[in-house]
Amino acid sequence: MSDYVQKALAIVKAKNPHEPEFQQAVQEVFETLEPALERHPEYRTAKILERLVEPERIVIFRVPWMDDQGEIQINRGYRIQMNSAIGPYKGGLRFHPSVTLSILKFLAFEQVFKNSLTTLPLGGGKGGSDFDPKGKSENEVMRFCQSFMTELYRHIGADIDVPAGDIGVGTREIGYLFGQYKRLTKEFTGVLTGKGLNWGGSLVRPEATGFGVVYFAEEMLKTKNISIEGKKVAVSGFGNVAWGAVTKANQLGAKVVTLSGPDGYIFDPDGVSGEKIDFMLAMRASARDEVKPYADKFKVQYFPNKKPWEVKVDVALPCATQNELDEKDARELVKNGCSCVVEGANMPTTLEGVKVFLDSKILYAPGKASNAGGVATSGLEMTQNSMRLPWPREEVDARLRGIMQNIHRTCRETAERYGAPGNYVVGANIAGFLKVANAMLEQGLV
C-alpha cells in the first residue's frame, strides 16, 4: 500500500474506532485502488478517498411503538446517505437485532460502488433498525414500520433517497412503510422499491438478487468454458437472496445441496428443488430463526452449529450475512475442489478468506459485483414508476441478465487494464470507484 492509502486508512480507523465492519469494507476497497490512484493523481489532490468514507449525511432516530401487550418499546432507526454523486441515494433497510451504525455504514459504503457498477443513475445509501422481527405479530410489525416511517419520511423522496428491502425487510414491510409515507405526504411516488405488484412494484424484483448471482456465476464459469449445468452448489441462508439463487440454479440445471440458518445447515443430496424451494418461503415467513424444519420435513441430514462450507461442491454461493465465511472455511472449500465462489450476501467473506480465494486463483466474485442484480432491478422499478408503465417479466429479466453480463465484462476488463487479470475484486472496486470519483470531481468540492 502506498503512503497515501495507508494514511487514509489509518484516519478511517482512528475516526471510526468502534466500527469494525465499516473499517473492513473500507480496507478491502482501498487496498485495491492503488493502480487507479497512481494513474490519476488528481484523485489524491482532490482528497476523493477521504471524502468517500465520510457519509454525506446520517440520520439516527428514535422509533417508539407499542407491542401487543400494551408495553412501550423503543428501537433505534438509521438512514446513512452515503454518496449522491451519480444519483439519488439508493439502498435497502435492514431490520435485525444485530444492526449497528458500523454495519449500516459498511453496507452503505459497499452500496456506492455496487450501484455505480449497475450502469444506472443510483447513489448509495443504507438504513434500518435494531428491531427484531422474529416472533413479532403482524400488527406489531405494522406499528413498528409506521413509527419508523413517521420520522424517515422527512429525509427520503423519489428523487432524494429511495430505500428498499434487505435482511428482515420484504414486500410486507415495504407495504406498511409505503402506506405510512403516502399518508404523511399525500404522494403516490416511487419512494420505495420492492413494492407489491399491484401498487408499483416490478416483476422479477423479489427474485432479482438471487437470479443475478447465478447469472454472474454463469458468466464466470463461461470464461473457463464450463457450464453451470450439472454442477453441485452450496448455498447459505434461506432468505430472499438464497431463494432466488436456488430457483435460478435449478432452472439452469445445477443441483443445490445445502441451505443454512443461524442454527446450522442441511445437506440434501437430491437437491433443493420443486416444493422444497417453496418451503424456503414458508420457513422465512414463519420468522423462526432455523433451517432445521427443512431437515425434519424432507428427512435429510441436519448439522447443528455448522456451516455448509465443509461440503464438497463445485460452486459456493454465500447468501446469508456478513463474515459468514472465514479463512478456515475458504481453505476447506478450495481443498475440496470448489472452483467458483460468488457472493450473494454483502461482505460474507472475511478479509483473510478473500485472500485465500485470490491466492488460490479460483473464480471469486465480491458481492458488490455479483449481488448487484437486486438494486439494479430496483433501478428498473424506479424507471417503470417514472414512466408509469410496468414492463412484462421477460423485459425486466432480460434487462437484469444484460446488466449482470455487463458488470461481469466491466470487472474483467478493468482488472485486466489495471494489471490484475482475473481478479474480480480489483475489477469491481476500480470500475465502481472511477465513475463515482469522476462525478465528484466534475461537481466541484462536494
Separation CA 190–CA 168 (nearest Å): 21
209 binds ligand NDP (CB under 6 A): yes
Q: How far is the CB of 310 from ligand NDP (least distance, A)?
A: 16
Extract the C-alpha cell encoding 373: 442484480
Whose Cβ is closer to ligand 2IT: residue 90's or residue 412's? 90
166 binds ligand NDP (CB under 6 A): yes
Q: Which of 91, 123, 244, 293 binds ligand 2IT (CB under 6 A)?
A: 91
126 is catalytic: yes
Separation CA 315–CA 364 (nearest Å): 10
Q: Which of 23, 146, 150, 321 binds ligand NDP (CB under 6 A)?
A: 321
293 binds ligand NDP (CB under 6 A): no
Q: How far is the CB of 73 from ligand 2IT (least distance, A)?
A: 25
Instruction: Choose among ligand 2IT, ligand NDP, none what residue 125 binds, the Cβ cut-off being 5 to 8 Å by kind.
Output: none
90 binds ligand 2IT (CB under 6 A): yes
DSSP characters over 144-176: HHHHHHHHHGGG-BTTTEEEE-BTTB-HHHHHH
Q: Is the dihedral of CA 311, 313, 317, 322 positive or negative?
A: positive
Instruction: Pinpoint the alpha helices (H) of 299-423.
Output: 327-335, 351-360, 367-370, 373-387, 393-417
Q: Which of 150, 378, 384, 423 binds ligand 2IT (CB under 6 A)?
A: 378
Q: How far is the CB of 374 from ligand 2IT (least distance, A)?
A: 4
| Among the residue ranges 8-16, 88-96, 293-301, 330-338, the one whose residues contact ligand 2IT (CB under 6 A) | 88-96
Q: Is 292 helix (H, G, I), strand (E, B) or coil?
A: helix
Phi and psi dihedrals of 31, rounded to 5? -60, -20
Q: Sheet harboring 89-95: ordered strands across?
A: 57-66, 72-83, 124-129, 89-95, 161-164
Instruction: Give the nearest residue (CB) to ligand 2IT.
Output: 92
Q: Which of 64, 196, 253, 262 binds ligand NDP (CB under 6 A)?
A: 262
105 binds ligand 2IT (CB under 6 A): no
| Among the residue ranges 85-93, 132-140, 212-220, 286-294, the one whose residues contact ligand 2IT (CB under 6 A) | 85-93
Extract the C-alpha cell encoding 81: 446517505
DSSP character at residue 261: E
Instruction: Choose among ligand 2IT, ligand NDP, none what residue 91 binds, the Cβ cut-off being 5 to 8 Å by kind.
Output: ligand 2IT
DSSP characters over 383-398: HHHHHT-PPPHHHHHH
272 binds ligand NDP (CB under 6 A): no
Name the active-site residue from 126, 195, 276, 307. Answer: 126
Q: Which of 26, 49, 164, 428 binds ligand 2IT (CB under 6 A)?
A: 164
Q: At 122, which helix (H) or strand (E)?
A: none
Cell 464438497 belongs to 312
Instruction: Choose among ligand NDP, ligand 2IT, none what residue 98 binds, the Cβ cut-off being 5 to 8 Å by kind.
Output: ligand NDP
Instruction: Choose among ligand 2IT, ligand NDP, none what residue 241 binds, the Cβ cut-off being 5 to 8 Å by kind.
Output: ligand NDP
Extract the C-alpha cell encoding 183: 399518508
Separation CA 423–CA 215 (nearest Å): 18
- Ramachandran bin of 415, using left for φ above 0, alpha for ψ from -120 to 50, beta for the remaining angles: alpha
| Among the residue ranges 39-47, 90-98, 210-218, 331-339, the one whose residues contact ligand 2IT (CB under 6 A) | 90-98
Residues annotated as catalytic (active site), given as ranges: 126
Binding site for ligand NDP (CB under 6 A): 92, 96, 98, 165-168, 209, 237-241, 261-262, 284, 289, 319-321, 344-346, 371, 374
